[in-house]
């Protein structure tokens, strides 16, 4: 297969983990005889500094023309504590989602047995937890009308029926590949937008009688994820709730540095780690490259290249089992490995496989 990849490394640890993601992508492509070409493009704080725009037109074109985007992370502390900043790196990410029509964000929450002791939850609660959150990504409060005055401000949580319907269908399609259980998460006891979600879901569910559907208020879902994460198979929810719940999901597995994601929709799909740009870790060769590398696995799988994805997942599991780990998940007394060393170990594993 020929694959054109737009590479958006962004800010903070982004460029370092991206280097490893690209190395793994190339190693797998070589092994399986795929022809991959890369085009790097600017985004985030980096792009603001260079051209004054966190998602420049040139970057949009590079994404449009690619088969897939491999994205790392954006963000810079110099913007975080300045609510008056006119442009912010995060706007680049939101612009990318909107302009590429990436309405479905797929965030798997998977546990690795050898890292369960890192979870803040008890072993017996979290062992075997395996679910995915399908987060609506181009609607809701993130993109609804806003007003920002000196003494008053508001955001609008707007949703239309087609927006809700299409994301629900994505959830049902995933459920059919998994344990056939969808949980629709909303706040229908309070919010009008949530009542629309529930109404539409009650209709759409009839088309998927082979899938069990249940409804859960978001506050209850936040609790259930901690009490009994194994309850969930496919969770589907609106943009803001999905943002919050997926951070919660990522930490129950033991390391945020291990979770990849895919954003798909109308145009080129984007694959990215769910963690942020971790500016404090920049340039220190300590960032965990595994979420970026697993995002590459999701990229191959998106194109139906299951064996390629499998090989990456096996390599990642093998690296963990061999204690080739970055500092935040390192076993006491084991040798120290950095971002580059973990990436190189995985590339070597793939070449030898």
* Active site residue ranges: 142, 187, 219, 243, 247
> By Cβ distance, which residue is nearest to Mn ion?
243
Question: In the stretch 85-124, what mask flags binding to Mn ion with x, by CB under 5 A?
Answer: ----------------------------------------
Instruction: List residues binding ligand IPM (CB under 6 A).
Output: 90, 93, 243
Q: How far is the CB of 33 from ligand IPM (least distance, A)?
A: 34
State yes or no: residue 341 binds Mn ion (CB under 5 A). no
Interaction with Mn ion in 143-162: which residues (CB under 5 A)?
none
Interacting stretch for Mn ion, rule CB under 5 A, among 18-26, 140-148, 237-245, 305-313? 237-245
Of 19, 233, 238, 243, the one binding Mn ion by CB under 5 A: 243
Q: What is the 3-state secondary structure (H, E, C) of the chain?
A: CEEEEEEEEECCCHHHHHHHHHHHHHHHHHHHCCEEEEEECCCCHHHHHHHCCCCCHHHHHHHHHCCEEEEEECCCHHHHCCCCCCCCHHHHHHHHHHHCCCCEEEEEEECCHHHHHHCCCCHHHHCCCEEEEEEECCCHHHCCCEEECCCCEEECCCCCHHHHHHHHHHHHHHHHHCCCEEEEEECCCCCHHHHHHHHHHHHHHHHCCCCEEEEEEHHHHHHHHHHCHHHCCEEEECHHHHHHHHHHHHHHCCCHHHCEEEEECCCCCEEEECCCCCHHHCCCCCCCCHHHHHHHHHHHHHCCCHHHHHHHHHHHHHHHHCCCCCHHHCCCCCCCCCHHHHHHHHHHHHHHC
Q: How far is the CB of 280 from ligand IPM (least distance, A)?
A: 16
Q: Pick between residue 246 and residue 319 the one whose CB is nearest to ligand IPM.
A: 246
Contacted entry of Mn ion, ligand IPM, none for residue 186, CB cut-off 5 to 8 Å set by kind: none
Q: Pick between residue 194 and residue 246 the one whose CB is nearest to ligand IPM.
A: 246
> By Cβ distance, which residue is nearest to ligand IPM?
90
State yes or no: residue 76 binds Mn ion (CB under 5 A). no
- The site for Mn ion (CB under 5 A) is made up of 243
């Amino acid at each position: 297969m020929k694959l054109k990849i737009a590479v958006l490394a962004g800010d903070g640890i982004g460029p370092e983990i991206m280097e490893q993601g690209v190395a793994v992508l190339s190693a797998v492509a070589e092994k399986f005889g795929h022809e991959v070409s890369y085009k790097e493009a600017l985004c985030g704080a980096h792009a603001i500094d260079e051209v004054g725009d966190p998602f420049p037109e040139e970057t949009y074109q590079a994404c449009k023309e690619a088969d897939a985007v491999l994205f790392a992370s954006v963000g810079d502390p110099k913007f975080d504590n300045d609510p008056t900043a006119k442009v912010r790196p995060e706007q680049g990410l939101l612009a990318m989602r909107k302009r590429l029509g990436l309405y479905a964000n797929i965030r798997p929450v998977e546990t690795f047995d050898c890292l369960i002791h890192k979870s803040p939850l008890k072993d017996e609660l979290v062992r075997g937890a395996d679910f995915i959150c399908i987060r609506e990504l181009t609607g809701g409060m993130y993109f609804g009308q806003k007003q920002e005055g000196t003494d008053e401000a508001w955001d609008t949580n707007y949703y239309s029926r087609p927006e809700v319907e299409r994301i629900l269908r994505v959830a049902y399609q995933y459920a059919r590949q998994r344990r056939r259980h969808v949980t629709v998460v909303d706040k229908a006891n309070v919010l009008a937008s949530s009542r629309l979600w529930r109404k539409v879901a009650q209709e759409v569910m009839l088309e998927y009688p082979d899938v069990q559907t249940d409804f859960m208020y978001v506050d209850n879902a936040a609790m259930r994820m901690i009490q009994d994460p194994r309850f969930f198979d496919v969770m589907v929810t609106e943009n803001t709730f999905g943002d919050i719940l997926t951070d919660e999901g990522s930490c129950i597995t033991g390391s945020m540095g291990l979770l990849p994601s895919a954003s798909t929709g109308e145009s080129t799909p984007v694959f990215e780690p769910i963690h942020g740009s971790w500016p404090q870790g920049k340039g220190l060769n300590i960032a965990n490259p595994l979420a970026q590398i697993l995002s590459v696995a999701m990229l191959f799988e998106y194109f139906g290249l299951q064996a390629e994805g499998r090989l990456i997942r096996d390599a990642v599991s093998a690296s963990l089992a061999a204690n080739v780990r970055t500092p935040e998940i390192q076993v006491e007394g084991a040798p120290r490995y950095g971002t580059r060393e973990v990436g190189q170990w995985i590339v070597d594993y793939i070449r030898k496989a």
